[in-house]
Amino acid sequence: MEALLQELEVARNAASVAEKKAGELQSLAAEANAASNALHFDEATTRTKLIDSQLASAGWNVASNGAAAGEVGKEVEVAHQPTETGIGYADYVLWDDNGNPLAVIEAKKTSVEPERGRQQAKLYADGLEKMHGHRPVIFYTNGFDIWIWDDAQGYPPRKLFDFYSKDSLQRLANYQRKERKALDGVAINDTIAIAFIKLEAIKRVAERFSGKHRRASLSRRPARAKRGSRLRSLTFSFERVGLPGCCSVRSPRAA
């Protein structure tokens, strides 16, 4: 009898494991189907299912059912377009509190590379700038890949993980563009960096950032190293942050 009960318990456990695996397979299949369906979203569905939620996650007040909210305009009429009527309709315009366009977003369906929306987004930015006297930041996306292009400051397009919040766009458009100084023209405080090599290093990093790069690195050999040490050089990485004329310094990496 005891042997029979043990066999029954083993059978139950096996059935439970099989049921669990079947449930996992069904879950994976459902996720795969959802991903497959997402790849076939048309442009309207891409906006409502993906881009709206991404904007909401970034703190924007997005109206439901494709409607426009105060700060998130949808299907916004833009003049000065290369059409027969001279009118076009931007998928999204993100508005500042003073009525200026902070950003324009060109949406493409999920199966299309977002790069195909870059030129169209620029045309909308051109039109909005003529209408409002303020150039918006350019975004273009297919719901998965998001690209930003701040051509007003001469930066090339770059890929993002998410849209900018309203605060971030206000800081970029209303502060950084007006107040940011060219680093290669800022006087170095020689009470902080006296040695020639330090002055030269600061100048090289400043030149790098002034060339519209976002990162720079410096390598140097330690003045002293213990005998037998494998340390041959130190690399310092710098990244320009939001404050004008500032950069952050990452921890040195041994090489």
pLDDT for 233: 44
Rounded to whole angstroms, the Cα distance separating 40 from 117 reads 17
Strands 253-254 and 234-240: antiparallel
| Same-domain pairing of 96 and 216 | no
- Residue at 128 is within a domain: yes
* 166 in a structural domain: yes
Spatial contact of 205 and 181, defined as CB atoms under 8 Å apart: no
Residue 68's pLDDT is: 60
Q: Are residues 50 and 133 in the same domain?
A: yes
Q: How many Å apart are CA 244 and CA 181, to the nearest integer? A: 6
Domain boundary among 179, 198, 219: 179
- Asked if residue 162 and residue 100 are part of one domain, the reply reads yes
Counted domains in the chain: 2
Same domain assignment for residues 165 and 224? no
Residue 127, domain member (yes or no): yes
Does the residue 30 lie in any domain? no
Contact 137, 154 (CB under 8 A): no
Supply the pLDDT for residue 45: 84
**Domain membership flag for residue 248:** yes
Q: Which helix or strand (DSSP H or E) is residue 91 part of?
A: strand 88-95
Residue 152 CA, chain-centre distance (Å), reads: 17
Q: Which residue has the tokens 């620029």?
A: 122
Identify whether residues 136 and 204 lie together within a single domain: no
The rounded distance, in Å, linking the Cα atoms of 215 and 198 is 18
Do 98 and 197 belong to one domain?
no
Identify whether residues 59 and 76 lie together within a single domain.
yes
pLDDT number for residue 44: 85
Q: Say whether both 96 and 152 belong to one domain.
A: yes
List the pLDDT tens digit at each of the 255 positions of the chain.
566 556 656 666 665 555 556 666 666 556 555 654 556 788 888 888 889 999 999 999 887 765 566 899 999 999 999 999 999 999 999 999 999 999 999 999 888 898 999 999 999 999 999 999 999 999 999 988 999 999 888 888 999 989 999 999 998 888 877 776 666 666 666 665 555 556 666 666 666 666 656 666 666 655 554 444 443 444 555 555 544 434 444 444 444
In a domain, 119, yes or no: yes
Give the model's pLDDT for residue 48: 84
Looking at residue 168, which CATH number applies to its domain?
3.90.1570.30
- Start-to-end Cα distance in the chain: 69
Last residue of a domain, one of 146, 179, 212: 179
Q: How high is the pLDDT of residue 36? A: 46
In a domain, 108, yes or no: yes
**Same domain? 144 vs 74:** yes
| Whether residue 121 sits in one domain with residue 137 | yes
Could you count the other beta carbons within 10 Å of the beta carbon of residue 148? 19
Instruction: Indicate the residue among 179, 205, 232 that finishes a domain.
Output: 179
pLDDT at 214: 64
Query: Please, is 224 exposed, middle or buried when counting C-beta atoms within 10 Å of its C-beta (0-12, 13-18, 19+)?
Result: exposed
Cross-strand partners of 149: 138
Residue 36 lies in a domain: no
Q: Please tell me whether residues 70 and 172 are part of one structural domain.
A: yes
Angstrom distance (rounded) from CA 15 to CA 148: 52
| Nearest in space to 52 (alpha carbons), one of 41, 43, 42, 63 | 63
Host domain of residue 146: 43-179
Domain check: are 164 and 82 in the same one? yes
Measure the CA–CA gap between 190 and 182, rounded to whole angstroms. 19
